[in-house]
Structure 1
């Protein structure tokens, strides 16, 4: 299987994968019994007043962590004992030592009733003085298709914190919660399958007149009058109204429902976390794009979800993992760190999937240390949920390696992240090594990259499209044409890789760089273009090229060509190749006319080129060196600045890219090349108007224009402004300064500007010897004088930096 250059990015943009069967059982599940079968076993993890009772609800809306099972007792248990619990005494930390232990306690003669053990999952033994009492929670789970027990020890402090969290909600009865979730499941199915809701399954949650009054207040002033009315209700009334109003608003008005959840989540008595999770899952499933534009006061959609799923409302012993992940995916950096600290400090029950979600978000914020810390915790859970070399963990390790860098240490140079992964027992696969290979080439040391490639081959890791793409990218960037040719020769026999769109685009790009972008003096431009065209037609349809009038109408492609629509990159490269090889102005003007027209019409293939400035910049390059191209260059920039609506107020089907600093610099160079200084000054004013900051290329273009005009004072001012912006003169600047007839005059002006800006100029005689000997001016000729003056200027700038 082959992947493109966005391998890591695309494979982690979706939700977290699951490596366990769908029928996996979790904490606090109830097992339905079949008609006529003995009573099904159940896992009792807490009494009815605790958070565990909430999590023992039946199947919810899309929450795979809290699903019911229809496994009968005989199939479920077989000859294995039923789940029991007990209390024990220990002086050590029970949570740290026994978090993930699996135990198989003996089958009790009779299951004690909740009255006999005070609502816990086993008889309570009296604790001896000086020892901490701990509660044991046994949970029957299915891992890799096999039933097993997991034992978790919870101390009294954790149980007390759980009770405190639950006291802040209006949770009243597990039966009511299960009925409400069943009603929401029916609404979810009705929406998904586009059918009517069968209200016989949710008759008790039909809204009444009091609910209608509250909704009226919510519609008129949700953050004001409704909030006051809601706070005036007692805890029991809030519970009843919330269950009915939540289902009603979810069906009728998602925007109003989100505002309702926001207000009620800020109340003294909050909704149950599991129920809030289900509601937000419903909104995310059907209205996510629509609600992205939602705003109420200072709240946006993401901030509202953060408020509704605030970590202070997370149950400790059994928490909906999907709700936690929903919170993490919208949390900013600070809230993410606070949530992680809360989980660690309070010992919240978190599964490996959710820890990986933490890891993914830390990677998004480039927090390497935290991501490694999370991975260490995942490794601690690996004996029950994920192996350290499982697919999900390896994918996240790949993503983490994209942030890797090289550090210099007393032991030599080494990567920062890779050694940490190896110490944790991660065994790199080909995908990981592809990322390592890319990082190695990015260090600027090609030999390091080749060493990584040799290691992959020694480990029998066959190169895939990602490997070849990395090698081609590095070879093109270094201008190693021989290596590019050998790689292409190696790729061509492998049909699957050679037809990979990313490999095809990079191959076409390599030919463009080595031929059309820098055409040799003795090369035939037409032959160069048609060689690229032959490569293009092997993979793509030529119809868009005919529509742009790049090809004659009677052009016949060679046999064996493909009819696949071209990618944006491939189409851009072939247009750029034509413009570089055919520089006659009438042809360029004609092609731009058709290009602009098709952008306005929203052409399916050609219009996407306008989303970036690349194609526009190629037209500017073609216009630049011809006086007839000045006006078209201005019109092109005006086209990019034009609003996205037509004169009839119709929105254009494609949004055009705005001019970038490269676009403005090319326009500036067009005026500079054609000796239009006043127009060039106007371009500089326009760049300031649109807030475009000069880059080094812009400054070199400006200096080159002033140097050609022998405007020494303006050259000096430009150099001072360049320096003030944090740049330093480079080889291109020095090349432009060679056009000056009197470089010593430039040196004097720069000194004068130094004196004006910083007071008396410092004596630079210790750095550069003064040119006091007139013989030095005449003996070497004009070229020596120019070189000497420019060298003094460069050394002066280096001293200041």
Structure 2
């Protein structure tokens, strides 16, 4: 039997285990939900399509996958068409049907009447069918409730599906720009906020001039990126009203202040805080910039640097020398996804002689911050993603050739954004180049680089960044003070903790601690907690408690995180009952500190201990009263009382030896989840219909939002998966489909564990095609299967004697992954063992070939991505040779000829 309590507390879904495993309480609190509106909208659109028919689950074509977005209710009707019957005794047909499909979404008018009636009654008593309809109405996105919107002078209704935001007759912008015309938005700016921010910037400028300007001796201060950034902020915040900047003059007569103000106007688009505090600056570009851009990027030249460079060299010399900043600023303002291709053409010779590297560095800063903040809503997503992927290699080549000799030319914000945009391998390459060239990296940027390397588990590079920081201190006293700042200590703790991403690197903990102490870091309770957590994750319980016992000797007092770390580590051991005394001490500490999460950790310990002591379900159900008493030591029974009223055989709260209502703590969502899981388990063992009654009460409480703790728990799919697992165990797949449909009511979305539970239920009930259908729906919704998904499929195909599909599933297993003993027993029960061995060998060969092809494709892609742009010469050899034996070189542009897109100088106009 698969163990219910895993070492890392993953909520693996197995219908064979008597209790559904779950995350640790603190891990549950820190988990993030993926509830982006775009994902919900895409799922909603996919669910409107349906298809019937099975097929190979691992080799479905694109046409089949396009029709996978059906609601899960189609699985039930699909299986009925295949003359399969489900074991749904006692369900009484709880849901109305229309044409073989479950109808649960009423019209808006009926839903509105139902909602008004329910609100008048206070939602005190809600029939079962009314709950479905009210939930469906509340699940409608807010966008579908809007009446009308004005689009291009027309008033059209707003729909959530099939609505085109723009007119079909509108002309698209250049290179995928949005079809909506640009509008000037003038938002009232608070003068007080603007003045306060201006004082802060002036203070930063004075501090910069006092500390860092004396260090700059060889180059002027305009070559410092931080100085230019502060000047742009001052120019943007100093104006009390809206301004308009006209960029008509040539570059040789254009003042530096105008260039700075132009970039200040561009910064308002990519910096939200500056946009809220500074008055708008509208740019009036040279009228010829539009025609220059059209000619420069003609014939799909946006992704071909060589073509852009060729077109750029056909311009007049006067235009290229005097108006290249105008064109660059115009591209950053109108077509930012094309600006970096123009930068490649500018920095390759022959281009311009008067190339100002400060403008190039500021352009890169504007692009980097725009990519990080996703500021350009008017650019098509595919064009923006293409230029974003190419930004890091472009910056690397131009930085190496032009910007690296100037150590302070790049602003700190640009260096900060590079770490956010680059992958780990790309960032390592850029960081090595920065160290080699001696690029000036500020204190905060180095801490950000430390955190970037630490989160990826590269503690060696993280320690090198910390070493650069402490070496910059002028003396030992300043070094110790710098090493004990809060940000520095948090980066040290992150580096130490994330070094355990590889379990084999536990022996490096001692060396990392010694290095931090060498930097001057004084070990506090934060770092001691990390050391104890690393020991617990590695299974070294003795070392963790030795460190805990030395806290008093070092003058430190353990906090709530110390007890939670140790208690959770004791829970994950093979014999948690051995630490019963320490767990009781943690319970008393939780009462004294009034920490609900430490109390939840204790409740989790009791749950695991009782489950380990009694493996069979009946004995576990007999000890639920003991777990309930542990719950009532800390938390209020109020969230559980509605479920006790529904389930007649449920355990009741007793007031003997418990706290009063005024001293109760509000239970965290995980503590409530543990008790609800026990209620569901007990209801499923006594009366199967009681589970459906508990679910309806749970849904009613979630819809009416009576209990905020329960509503917060409902936002996580883990509690929904518990009900889903119970229905799949008793083969009530109609109720299971209803659970999946009701999940979006609270904002939860089905995850990979949801589909694993459902798929396993169908496989256990010998519904092969329905199980494959679940797999296809999961893939169509963008959810990648995990290792347990393939284990469920392999076990189902082995029990059904489908040898060929067993080989197809084995292709997705990792060679280093050890198969479960139960799974090996299922494979051994296949009748044709010779064919099984043959299919397994074929799967191994296909897996190796696929990995080799993927590695080659990835290597070729990275090689092409990082290869410097190739610029062909402007002259090409003519075919054949002349009479003297030399090659005839024919220029691409004949002397005296006039190309079709050569422009007359604007200054002559």
| TM-score band w.r.t. shorter chain | 0.5 to 0.7
290, 306, 311: which one aligns with 2:399 = 311
750, 774, 779: which one aligns with 1:657 = 750
CA gap of 1:548–1:620, structure 2 versus 1, over 3 A, is farther
CA gap of 1:541–1:324, structure 2 versus 1, over 3 A, is farther
522, 532, 542: which one aligns with 2:639 = 542
CA gap of 1:194–1:451, structure 2 versus 1, over 3 A, is closer
Partner of 2:726: 622
Give ranges in structure 2 of 5+ residues lacking alignment.
Answer: 1-24, 33-199, 239-250, 348-356, 843-909
CA gap of 1:53–1:447, structure 2 versus 1, over 3 A, is closer
331, 336, 353: which one aligns with 2:427 = 336
Instruction: Describe the superposition over 1:135-186 as per-residue Cα deviations: whole angstroms up to 9, x where unpaired.
Output: xxxxxxxxxxxxxxxxxxxxxxxxxxxxxxxxxx999865555555666789
CA gap of 1:549–1:258, structure 2 versus 1, over 3 A, is farther
Partner of 2:735: 632
Partner of 2:344: 266
Alpha carbons 1:702, 1:718 under 8 Å: kept: yes
Instruction: Describe the superposition over 1:170-217 as per-residue Cα deviations: whole angstroms up to 9, x where unpaired.
Output: 998655555556667899999757588376xx9xx6445345666888
- The alignment's TM-score, normalised by the length of structure 1, stands at 0.58
1:59 equivalent in alignment to 2:230: yes
557, 564, 567: which one aligns with 1:462 = 557
CA gap of 1:639–1:226, structure 2 versus 1, over 3 A, is farther
343, 362, 368: which one aligns with 1:275 = 362
Quote how far apart the aligned CAs of 1:610 are: 5.9
CA gap of 1:278–1:733, structure 2 versus 1, over 3 A, is closer
Quote how far apart the aligned CAs of 1:509 are: 2.5
Partner of 2:67: none
1:238 equivalent in alignment to 2:335: no
398, 415, 426: which one aligns with 1:324 = 415
What is the distance in 2 between the residues matched to 1:193 and 1:412? 50
Quote how far apart the aligned CAs of 1:57 are: 4.2
Alignment of 1:93-104 (within 5 A): none
What is the distance in 2 between the residues matched to 1:564 and 1:593? 27
Partner of 1:499: 595
SS at match of 1:444: coil
1:355 equivalent in alignment to 2:449: no
1:299 equivalent in alignment to 2:403: no
Instruction: Describe the superposition over 1:14-35 as per-residue Cα deviations: whole angstroms up to 9, x where unpaired.
Output: xxxxxx999566998499xxxx
1:438 equivalent in alignment to 2:610: no
Alpha carbons 1:29, 1:67 under 8 Å: kept: no
What is the distance in 2 between the residues matched to 1:216 and 1:240? 15
What is the distance in 2 between the residues matched to 1:497 and 1:9? 24
CA gap of 1:556–1:390, structure 2 versus 1, over 3 A, is same
Quote how far apart the aligned CAs of 1:472 are: 1.6
What is the distance in 2 between the residues matched to 1:440 and 1:395? 19
Alpha carbons 2:270, 2:366 under 8 Å: kept: no
Partner of 1:592: 695
CA gap of 1:593–1:47, structure 2 versus 1, over 3 A, is same
Alpha carbons 1:623, 1:633 under 8 Å: kept: yes
Quote how far apart the aligned CAs of 1:401 are: 1.0
SS at match of 1:521: helix
CA gap of 1:485–1:619, structure 2 versus 1, over 3 A, is farther
What is the distance in 2 between the residues matched to 1:638 and 1:335? 42
What is the distance in 2 between the residues matched to 1:245 and 1:576? 58
Alpha carbons 1:30, 1:58 under 8 Å: kept: no
Instruction: Describe the superposition over 1:656-707 as per-residue Cα deviations: whole angstroms up to 9, x where unpaired.
Output: 12443x75357535864xxx4x326753674478568685798599869988
Alpha carbons 1:222, 1:259 under 8 Å: kept: no
Give ranges in structure 1 of 5+ residues lacking alignment.
Answer: 11-19, 32-40, 69-168, 250-255, 645-651, 738-742, 760-801
What is the distance in 2 between the residues matched to 1:613 and 1:9? 12
SS at match of 2:550: helix
Supply the RMSD in Å over aligned alpha carbons: 5.8
- The alignment's TM-score, normalised by the length of structure 2, stands at 0.52
Partner of 2:767: 679
What is the distance in 2 between the residues matched to 1:382 and 1:434? 28
Decide which structure has the larger Cα Rg and report it.
Answer: 1
Quote how far apart the aligned CAs of 1:290 are: 5.6
548, 570, 573: which one aligns with 2:674 = 573
What is the distance in 2 between the residues matched to 1:695 and 1:300? 34
SS at match of 1:458: coil
Partner of 1:165: none
SS at match of 1:369: helix
Quote how far apart the aligned CAs of 1:303 are: 4.8
Quote how far apart the aligned CAs of 1:323 are: 1.6
Instruction: Describe the superposition over 1:270-314 as per-residue Cα deviations: whole angstroms up to 9, x where unpaired.
Output: 762553366458757976596998441652546547756863454
Higher relative contact order (CA 8 A, sep 6+): 2
CA gap of 1:512–1:45, structure 2 versus 1, over 3 A, is same
Alpha carbons 1:358, 1:371 under 8 Å: kept: yes
Quote how far apart the aligned CAs of 1:588 are: 0.9
Alpha carbons 1:30, 1:42 under 8 Å: kept: yes
Quote how far apart the aligned CAs of 1:340 are: 1.1
1:372 equivalent in alignment to 2:441: no
- Greater shift, 274-283 or 320-329, is seen at 274-283
625, 629, 643: which one aligns with 1:527 = 625
The number of residue pairs the alignment matches comes to: 593
Alpha carbons 1:579, 1:619 under 8 Å: kept: yes
SS at match of 2:451: helix
CA gap of 1:563–1:431, structure 2 versus 1, over 3 A, is same
Instruction: Describe the superposition over 1:38-71 as per-residue Cα deviations: whole angstroms up to 9, x where unpaired.
Output: xxx98763455x86377644724569xx999xxx
CA gap of 1:414–1:219, structure 2 versus 1, over 3 A, is closer
Alpha carbons 1:624, 1:669 under 8 Å: kept: yes
Quote how far apart the aligned CAs of 1:589 are: 0.8
